[in-house]
Amino acid sequence: MLGWLPELTTPGTLTGPTKKAEMTTCSRDDSRSRYQSAIDDEVVAIIAYTQLEDDRVIIDHTKTSAVMRGHGLAGQLTRFALKDLRARHQHVVAHCAYTRHYLDQHPEFADLL
């Protein structure tokens, strides 16, 4: 299903629970239309998006490396992405179930809808 993202289907050098969310670096990669979270330059979570021609961005999917699930990476990256979209005066169309749930649980981002 996500063959376009091999770095998340193989854990590489990550050791799991010893690598925590606070050790990650979040960034936006416009060339790949995604937000990403990395530990030691290895991508461990992504949010794929589609930029529409107006001020809307579709959040298509959120994916976290199997060995890194349960450490808050998806939430941390989602918060980063939403804050970035707000700063860029964009609105969110949440096709991703995780993003929809996150927005339901965090009304401080309601202005993005």
Q: Where are the domains of the chain?
A: 6-11+20-112
Residues of the chain with pLDDT under 50: 1-7, 9-19
Domain 6-11+20-112: give its CATH code.
3.40.630.30
Compute the distance between CA of residue 37 and CA of residue 23 in angstroms, rounded to an integer.
10
CA distance 1 to 56: 25
Q: Supply the DSSP string of 28-65, one letter for each residue.
A: EEGGGTEEEEEETTEEEEEEEEEE-SSSEEEEEEEEE-
Please state, for a pLDDT cut of 70, what percent of the chain lies above it: 81
The model carries a pTM of: 0.82
pLDDT of res. 9: 43
Could you report the per-residue pLDDT of 54-77, keeping only the tens digit for each?
999 999 999 999 988 998 999 999
